[in-house]
Amino acid sequence: MKRLLAIALLLAPLAAQAAPRSNTANIDDIAQLTGLTPRLVQMVVGNPTAYAEYLTQYDWARQRMQHVLGAQRLDDLMAGREIRLDDGRTIAIAQL
């Protein structure tokens, strides 16, 4: 019995880490919120050089994200700071 208790105590922190945080958003959530594809969201907040459509889509996608999130929240997101979405979830660039 003590052995099972010791194993359970050792595994408890791992289970807590594996559980998804319900108040966080991911790239798909931002895409759904903004009406963009996950690829376009990644292009705006990530490294744009990997995207062939960068020259034709970036400005439009960034303006769309700015319209939905607001200028301050988009700037904070791009600067690597955590932002809070209207539904209470939080997101930061490191999570994308």
Asked whether residue 84 is assigned to any structural domain, the reply reads: yes
Q: What is the pLDDT of residue 15?
A: 47
pTM above 0.85, yes or no: no
Predicted confidence (pLDDT) per residue in 2-38, tens digit: 565 556 555 555 544 444 455 566 788 888 889 999 8
Asked whether residue 3 is assigned to any structural domain, the reply reads: no
Asked whether residue 1 is assigned to any structural domain, the reply reads: no
Asked whether residue 12 is assigned to any structural domain, the reply reads: no
At residue 65, does pLDDT exceed 50? yes
CB pairs under 8 A, 24+ apart, for 30-33? Answer: 30/65, 30/91, 30/96, 33/68, 33/69, 33/85
Asked whether residue 69 is assigned to any structural domain, the reply reads: yes
Return the number of other C-beta atoms located less than 10 Å from residue 77's C-beta. Answer: 20
Asked whether residue 5 is assigned to any structural domain, the reply reads: no
CB of 80 within 8 A of CB of 9? no
Asked whether residue 6 is assigned to any structural domain, the reply reads: no
Number of separate domains in the chain: 1
Asked whether residue 81 is assigned to any structural domain, the reply reads: yes
28: containing domain:
22-95
